[in-house]
Structure 1
């Protein structure tokens, strides 16, 4: 027996296909795009952490202080992030500690979801990023 939910999804899918809009665009992982952490800049800085994700998941990372490379691997809504070596820049110890905590939280994320321009990495703590659309 087909559920009402399945029938509604099929109807919505058909409507989107007829409209000419890409069907999975809202749910695809943002390979090839850049995003910024949905957070305010820290006092004394204008920087907000951002990720520039390549087509194969290779990632350039700019945090509040440190910067480097990493790699995302995605299968469905499951995600694995591995940080590479980070460049230690001249910055206060507290800000460097926040960078380390952010990297650890990204590394602990097990799932992701996308809602429009918002990407959330879900783990023990969730991190929300916004796609850079400008």
Structure 2
């Protein structure tokens, strides 16, 4: 039979393991989460682009004007984004161009990193998204 002090010492590795598992989960790719582009609203618009990423990398995207679907494939810190079908909406030219530029930057990203609630997609242009925690 373990004495109380021995039992407490025996639990330390289990506690540390649980803490590091939580930390790894918080630093992993945000599958099953929604996140919003770290950017200001465009003049005349209430929208800021967001990604709703499913458990298998499928994503629903709402941009400044357009909306559609895509797919993320992730291996370690490498990432590939492929845009799917997008709705053709009546968009002002500046918003439509900003949507196209954002999709191009996301498609050009080759790696990603996460620090807490901040996720960056890194390529010729780095995109910063914040995980929605509400």
TM-score tier after normalising by the smaller chain length = 0.7 to 0.9
Aligned pairs (5 A) from 1:83-94: 83-94=83-94
Aligned pairs (5 A) from 1:99-114: 99-114=99-114
Instruction: Number of aligned residue pairs: give it.
Output: 122
Q: Which contiguous aligned blocks of 4+ residues in structure 1 show a shift greater than 6 angstroms? A: none
> Contact (CA 8 Å) 1:110, 1:121: kept in 2 or not?
yes
| Structure 1: runs of 5 or more not aligned | 1-12
> Contact (CA 8 Å) 1:83, 1:107: kept in 2 or not?
yes
- Using the size of structure 1 for normalisation, the TM-score is 0.85
Equivalent residue, structure 2, for 1:26: 26
Aligned pair in 2 of structure 1 residues 85, 19: CA closer, same or farther (>3 Å)? closer
Equivalent residue, structure 2, for 1:128: 128
Equivalent residue, structure 1, for 2:39: 39
Q: Residue 18 of structure 1: CA displacement?
A: 6.0
Equivalent residue, structure 1, for 2:118: 118
Distance 1:85 1:20 in 2: 39
Equivalent residue, structure 2, for 1:69: 69
| Structure 2: runs of 5 or more not aligned | 1-12
Report the structure number with the largest CA radius of gyration.
2
Q: Residue 27 of structure 1: CA displacement?
A: 2.0
SS of 1:83's partner is strand
Please report the RMSD computed on the Cα atoms of aligned residues, expressed in angstroms.
1.9
Equivalent residue, structure 2, for 1:17: 17
SS of 2:22's partner is coil
> Contact (CA 8 Å) 1:16, 1:23: kept in 2 or not?
no
> Contact (CA 8 Å) 1:16, 1:22: kept in 2 or not?
no
Aligned pair in 2 of structure 1 residues 116, 16: CA closer, same or farther (>3 Å)? farther
- Using the size of structure 2 for normalisation, the TM-score is 0.85
